[in-house]
Amino acid sequence: MKTAFILLLSGILIGAGVSIIWRDIRKRQRGAFVSQRVSRFDADPEIEITISHGADARAALRRNAAETVQTDEAPATPSAIASVEERWAALQAAIGAGVDNTNAALASVRLFINASGDASWSYRNKGYGAYRRLLLDGESLGWLRLELSPQGELRASVKAHKDDRAMINAVAEAPAEGLTAARASALFAQCLKPAAVHAARQRSGSEAEASRLAWESVDALVTSALKATNGALAQAGASLTALAPPAWVQELRRHRMTLSVEVNGDDVARMHIERLPHEMEVAVGVREPHLADLGRRRRIPLDGMTIHGLAELIASCAWPAIARFKEDRRQA
């Protein structure tokens, strides 16, 4: 009995000791501290101490940084987008009038700015505007893009559909503030200059080919008429000599044959024979101003024209200069 009591008491004392030791360990963990000796440590003032605040705090810091950093490619805010779209709408009257003026000027080369498409923002919201087709003889040559930037610049650009027409590509810019029809026309003229040059060359080539074919349709008749005329003029010692084959004259936009009017071997005048759309024209001019009254210009309709009728027209134009020269030679 005594032995059992002693064993029970020993177990109670051992358990109490273990409990006290465990409580002391936990107390040391909760009460972390810096001793007086460590607190007097002289820290470097350049050392920066950072404290982690968790994922939410880091996300907030990133948002703040993003809001303070701005780049040229940052997307426009809704208010800025609305402002540009309103300014674009306000420019449409001047732009429309400028397009009309430009089309009138380009009509001679058969170039035409077509109606506008729906307005939209360009890539990365760099500008707001619309596309128009650029037509040459009714065929779509390329795109004309007109757009307004958030900075207030009006930009016109031409982009050809095909690489072999890249020579028409061009860009022009002008301030949108105070835009008028005249200023819009000037912007279009600058941007469309390469396209207009291309159109003029195309027209010249097609017109020259059409004129060549038109001359070929009367070439045999002209040749026969000249042969008949020279047969008649030979009795007066005169003749008409072609100086070159009929050729395209850019200024006149048609073919012309140039001949020398000769009397006894002397060149006394020049003759031009031209094929007009519905007529043949014969003109004679002299070098000396005081003999200007000897010049002649006559036409004959193509419809019903004969070799005999054209030969008579040619002879009647050449004869005044021939007769005057022959008279002067007799008096000399």
pLDDT for 17 equals: 52
Closest CA to 121 of 109, 112, 130: 130
CA 132, CA 144: separation in Å to the nearest integer?
5
Q: What is the pLDDT of residue 312?
A: 95
Of the ranges 52-61, 155-164, 218-227, 233-242, which one carries the lowest mean pLDDT score? 52-61
- Report d(CA 128, CA 81) in Å as an integer: 9
Largest CA distance in the chain: 184
Predicted confidence (pLDDT) per residue in 148-173, tens digit: 999 999 999 999 999 999 999 999 99
Range 132-147 average pLDDT: 95
Amino acid at 330: R
Residue 290 gets the label, from left (phi > 0), alpha (psi -120 to 50) or beta, of alpha
Q: Is 203 exposed, middle or buried (0-12, 13-18, 19+ CB in 10 A)?
A: middle
What percentage of the chain carries pLDDT values higher than 90?
Answer: 56
pLDDT in tens, 78-128: 777 889 999 999 999 999 999 999 999 999 888 999 999 999 999 888 999
Given a contact cutoff of 8 angstroms between Cβ atoms, the answer to whether 140 and 109 are in contact is no
3-state secondary structure of 145: strand
Q: Which pLDDT score is estimated for 77?
A: 67
Average pLDDT (55-77) is: 43
Residue 293 CA to residue 278 CA, distance in Å, equals: 27
Please calculate the CA angle 228-230-231 and round it to the nearest 5 degrees: 65
What pLDDT was estimated at residue 208? Answer: 84
With cut-offs at 50, 70 and 90, classify the pLDDT of residue 332.
low
Q: What gap in Å lies between CA 300 and CA 153, rounded to an integer? A: 58
> What does the block give as tokens for 93?
């009257």
Mean pLDDT of the chain: 80
Instruction: Give the highest mean pLDDT range of 4-8, 62-66, 170-174.
Output: 170-174
In one-letter notation, the amino acid at residue 205 is G
Answer whether 315's CB lies under 8 Å from 259's CB: no
- Between the two ends of the chain, the Cα-to-Cα distance in Å is 183
User: Given pLDDT bands bounded at 50, 70 and 90, which one contains residue 182?
Assistant: very high
User: Is there a contact between 225 and 307 (Cβ–Cβ < 8 Å)?
Assistant: yes
Torsion over CA: 287, 288, 289, 293 (sign): negative
Q: What percent of the chain has pLDDT over 70?
A: 75
Q: What is the pLDDT of residue 327?
A: 80
Cα 33 to Cα 35: distance, rounded to the nearest angstrom: 6
| 210 against 43, higher pLDDT | 210
Q: pTM score > 0.85 for this model?
A: no
pLDDT band at 76 (very low <50, low <70, confident <90, very high): low
Question: What is the signed CA dihedral for 177, 113, 205, 209, rounded to 10 degrees?
Answer: -160
Instruction: Report residue 215: phi and psi, to 5°.
Output: -65, -40
Q: Specify the amino acid at residue 318.
A: A
Amino acid at 195: A
More confident residue, 271 or 82: 271
Residue 57 predicted with pLDDT over 70: no
Residue 325 reports pLDDT greater than 90 = no
pLDDT tier for residue 9 given thresholds of 50, 70 and 90: very low
Report pLDDT for 288: 76
For residue 41, what pLDDT is reported?
38
What pLDDT does 153 receive?
A: 96
Using left for φ > 0, alpha for ψ between -120 and 50, and beta otherwise, residue 128 falls in beta
The candidate with the shortest Cα–Cα distance to 128, out of 185, 84, 180, 82, is 84
pLDDT in tens, 205-225: 778 888 889 999 999 999 999
Q: Which two tokens stand for residue 262?
A: 């000769």
User: Which is more confident, 19 or 116?
Assistant: 116
* HSE-up (13 A, CA, CB side) for residue 259: 25
Which residues, in sequence order, are bridge partners of residue 160?
142
Average the pLDDT over 194-201 and give the result: 90
* Token code pair at residue 78: 């809704």
The amino acid at residue 157 is S
